[in-house]
Amino acid sequence: MNAPDRYERFVVPEGVKKVSYERDTKIMNAATFTVEREDHTIGNIVRMQLHRDDTVLFAGYKLPHPLQYKILLRIQTTSQSSPMQAYNQAINDLDKELDHLKNQFEGELAKYTRDY
């Protein structure tokens, strides 16, 4: 009866930014990214990719509430980098990884169909 509409969980409302960024006021090189209408799928891969980054001191994400369809991603880096730089880097790396994965898969699939 009072349940939120189904589309609420993946349609970003008008006037709301998909990704917003808030710098930490107390800690240097730390920031929280609020990603609207995303969940563990994005949160977890970005976090894990950030962990591979040597300049990242901390990377974590949370789903604040199951009925709030957003994630909070928190990054702290060394002074060599910045949270925003690390975030972009992570997404670029993931994108490249997926490109590679796609090529691999298509290649293997072609090989498989040829063989059988």
Partner 1 sequence: MDGVSYQRFPRIKIREVKHDYMKFELRDTDSSIANALRRIMIAEVPTIAIDLVEIEVNSSVLNDEFISHRLGLIPLTSERAMSMRFSRDCDACDGDGQCEYCSVEFYLRVKCLSDQTLDVTSKDLLSSDHTVVPVDYSDGLDNATNKGIIIVKLRRGQELRLRAIARKGIGKDHAKWSPAATVTFMYEPEIYINEDMMESLTLEEKQELVDSSPTKVFAIDPENKQVIVVDPEAYTYDDEVLKKAEAMGKPGLVEIHAKEDSFIFTVETTGAVKASQLVLNAIEVLKQKLDAVRLSDDTVEADDQFGELGAHMRGG
Partner 2 sequence: MSDETDSLSRGIDKQYLASPIKNPVDKYQLIPEFLKVRGLVKQHLDSFNYFVKTEINKIVRANNEIRSTRDPSIYLRYRDVRIGEPSMIYDGVTEKLSPQKCRLSSLTYAAPIYVTVDYTSTMRGKKQESTEKDVVIGRMPIMLRSCSCVLYGKDEEQLAKLGECPLDPGGYFVVNGTEKAMGMESDQEVVQMLGRDPRFSALLLPSIEECANLKVYTQHQALEFLESDKMLNVFSYFSGPVEKGARALSILRDILLANVPVHQHNFRKKCIYVAVMMRRMMEAILNKDTMDDKDYVGNKRLELSGQILSLLFEDLFKTMNAESKREFDASPSARYILYCIKKYNRITSELGRTLSTGNWDVKRFGMHKKGVTDVVARLSYIGTLGNMTKIKPQFEKSRKVSGPRALQPSQFGMLCPCDTPEGEACGLVKNLALMTHVTTDEDERPIISLCYYLGVEDLELLSAEELHVPSSYLIVLNGLMLGKHKSLQRFANAMRKLRRAGKIGEFVSIFVNKKQRCVYIASDGGRVCRPLVIADKGVSRIKELHMKELRDGVCDFNSFLKDGLIEYLDVNEENSLIALYEKEATPETTHIEIEPFTILGVCASLIPYPHHNQSPRNTYQCAMGSGQNATVAVMSYSGYDIEDAIVMNKSSLDRGFGRCIVMKKYTAICQKYDSCTSDRIIKPQRQGYEADRMQILDDDEIAAPGEIIRRHDIYINKESPIVTRWIPGTSPTVLPDTAYKPSRQTYQGTEGELAVVDRVALHSDENNNLSIKFMIRDTRRPEIGDKFSSRHGQKGVCGTIVQ
The length of the chain is: 116
| DSSP output for 21-55 | EEE-SSSTTEEEEEEET--HHHHHHHHHHHHT-TT
Q: At its nearest, how many Å lie between partner 2 and the CB of residue 57?
A: 28
Stretch touching partner 2 by CB under 8 A, among 1-9, 20-28, 47-55, 106-114: 1-9
Kindly tell me which of 2 and 35 has the beta carbon lying closer to partner 1: 35
- How far apart are the C-alpha atoms of 36 and 72, rounded to whole Å? 9
3 binds partner 2 (CB under 8 A): yes
The interface mask with partner 2, positions 32-71, x = CB under 8 A, is -------x--------------------------x-----
Q: How far is the CB of 2 from partner 1 (least distance, A)?
A: 19
Judged by the rule CB under 8 A, the positions of this chain that interact with partner 2 are: 1-3, 9, 39, 66
